[in-house]
Amino acid sequence: MKGARQVIESLIKENVDYMFGYPGGVLIPIFHELFDSPIKFILSRHEQGAIHAADGYARATGKPGICIATSGPGATNIITGLATAHMDSVPLVVITGQVSTEMIGNDAFQEADVTGITRPVTKHNYLVQDIHDLARIIKEAFYIATTGRPGPVLIDIPVNISNTDCEYNYEKPVDLRGYKPVYEGHPVQIKKAAKMISEAKKPVIYSGGGVILGNASKELTEFAKKTGIPVTTTLLGLGAFPETDELSLEMLGMHGTYYANHAVNESDLLIAIGARFDDRVTGKIAQFIPNARVIHIDIDPASVSKNVIVDIPIVGDCKLILQELINITEKPDITPWIDEIRQMKLTHPLYYDSESPNLKPQYVVERIYEITKGDAIIATEVGQNQMWAAQFYKFSKPRTFISSGGLGTMGFGLPAAIGAQLGVPGKRVINIAGDGSIQMNIQELIVAVQHRLPVIIAILNNGFLGMVRQWQQLFYDKRYSQTCIKCAPDFVKLAEAYGAVGIRVEDKAGVDDAIKQALAITDRPIVIDFVVEKEENVYPFVPAGGTVKDTILRELA
């Protein structure tokens, strides 16, 4: 069987339904085979759009996202997408075309050293040099991408390999002696953890993206309920535990709730699950959790004791480990602690000036939450829009918040929303965007139009690269160097030009109608241009390298 055919056969065997990508010269043999295959191909308008869409699909469905790009510029266009997925541990299998094996290294037309360029931003990558390795490599790629700590795996396929025949065998089991993820947690460690938890006076669960990746939300919720321990999540952990639950402290970190950061800071035991103590969470590391012991449950041994010294590390699958803990942990006696937290929630709630007559971005997010009853999938861009979405939409289910956390990639949200909508056709997908970010991959709007996807793009249009402007305002004397972007396209006309629906909202009164109008449309994307308060800031704000004591709670008068 020809290499190109083997690629498609293997994808079918892996139950791939959607594939995202863009063709090119060295890929023609593979696209030739795709032509009449059952795989649905989503043609992006820029390879970056394709890989973010595959990423959004993967985050929303839990299945690996599949992306294909041509050699040279096609491949270099997906680097940001690889890095985005790598940082957030998203399973992707990415195929790139390469020049013919005998040309490699000669600066051939559209040649780039793709395995070299992508090495630091992939979990693993391959250059196929022999047709006899192709099927094995594809099988390994799926295995590596989806097991252990997931991540993107890239396969670089030279065009002559695609055109060469050999016997095809996809049945051989994967055998990698250097890769044996550990799933079972060490029983002694689990016992020690259970004891430490039952003796804690001020415990907090700090839950990260790993709980969602590990499909352990149910177990997390059960564990928290059984022990009565409050839960805070990271940005990527949103949805793993219902934010509407009284045990929820919502998000922690730089723009987390004051009560989450306060509770973590005061805690005597931090139970980290599938989280990696990122600097946006810890702030000044030396002063983070001064009184706490730490239990860290993570599938990745390299995450443990990386940034924070851990008392009880438990390496393994958080779902299995939580099941064990649910069975053996006794409920700690923490009534005073719960009272203290309840008090803190009352005295330091998430705040914005909801009385203001102006159109506040937070208000828009709140209304989206209320009107969708919290049942939508929210994809965000990066910046203030991302933080307001995280703060004011209350997430209750895993895989409903889709955002570039680790890399913070502007331009991620729209294509990711498209991928999510394809993967989860039964839910409404809303891209909460900034007027800056949305322009980074706006060309993907046509993909939503083409496939009649009712993605809603809610632009919180503040005329600024708002998050950077906020830092300039607070720390750089309001010198708004290159962050004012009021020279912008008319987003309503732009939507219409693409064949989408465009709606503009300039005051509070119009918000509900616009959201309802958008939700009523089911056959094309809708862009809502919310012209919001220009210099609104995100609070609370723990400045970079600060501690909870440095929190800025609201605008200083």
Partner 1 sequence: MEQYVLSVKVENRTGVLARVVGLFSARGYNIDSLSVSKTEDIDVSIITIVVHGDDRVIEQVKKQLNKLIDVIKVYDHTEIPSAQREIAIVKIQLTPAKRVEVFQIAQTFGAEIIDISQKALSLEVVGHPSKVENFIEIIRNYGIKELIRSGRISFARDRA
Ligand X SMILES: Cc1ncc(C[n+]2csc(CCOP(=O)(O)OP(=O)(O)O)c2C)c(N)n1
355: tokens are 């009385």
Cα(427)–Cα(400) distance, integer angstroms: 10
Which residues sit opposite 68 in a β-bridge? 21, 95
Q: Is 406 in the site for ligand X (CB under 6 A)?
A: no
Cα(5)–Cα(1) distance, integer angstroms: 7
Nearer to partner 1, 179 or 480 (CB): 179
Nearer to partner 1, 195 or 306 (CB): 306
Which one of 25, 62, 228, 301 is in contact with partner 1 (CB under 8 A)? 301
Q: What is the dihedral of CA 236, 242, 247, 249, to 10 degrees?
A: 40
- Restricting to residues 433-462, name those near ligand X by CB under 6 A: 434-437, 460, 462
Which one of 306, 397, 427, 508 is in contact with partner 1 (CB under 8 A)? 306
Neighbouring residues of 543: CB distance < 8 A, sequence distance ≥ 6: 474, 475, 550, 552
Q: What is the pattern of x (binds ligand X, CB under 6 A) and - over residues 347-386?
A: ----------------------------------xxxxx-
Cα(388)–Cα(378) distance, integer angstroms: 12
φ and ψ of 178, to 5 deg: -90, 5
- Residue from 283, 349, 255, 259 nearest 541 by CA: 255
Select from partner 1, ligand X, none the partner in contact with residue 124, using the beta carbon and a kind-dependent cut-off of 5 to 8 Å.
partner 1
Q: Is 467 in the site for ligand X (CB under 6 A)?
A: yes
Select from ligand X, partner 1, none the partner in contact with residue 410, using the beta carbon and a kind-dependent cut-off of 5 to 8 Å.
ligand X
Which one of 127, 131, 135, 511 is in contact with partner 1 (CB under 8 A)? 127
Strand order in the sheet with 18-21: 40-43, 18-21, 65-69, 92-98, 152-158, 124-127
Q: Is 300 in the site for partner 1 (CB under 8 A)?
A: yes
447 SS3 class: helix
- Restricting to residues 82-121, name those near ligand X by CB under 6 A: none
Shortest Å, Cβ 154 to ligand X: 21
Select from ligand X, partner 1, none the partner in contact with residue 87, using the beta carbon and a kind-dependent cut-off of 5 to 8 Å.
none
- CA distances 340 to 130, 151, 337, 345, 347, Å, are 64, 40, 5, 9, 11
Shortest Å, Cβ 183 to partner 1: 16
Which one of 11, 50, 144, 531 is in contact with partner 1 (CB under 8 A)? 144
Which one of 46, 59, 124, 255 is in contact with partner 1 (CB under 8 A)? 124
Q: Is 173 in the site for partner 1 (CB under 8 A)?
A: no
Which one of 40, 105, 106, 119 is in contact with partner 1 (CB under 8 A)? 119
What crossing angle do the helices spanning 318-328 and 187-199 adopt, rounded to 10°? 50
- Measured from the Cβ of residue 50, the count of other Cβ atoms closer than 10 Å reads 32
Please give the residue ranges that form the binding site for partner 1 (CB under 8 A).
115-116, 119-120, 123-124, 127, 129, 144, 176-179, 300-302, 305-306
Please give the residue ranges that form the binding site for ligand X (CB under 6 A).
381-385, 408-411, 434-437, 460, 462, 464-468
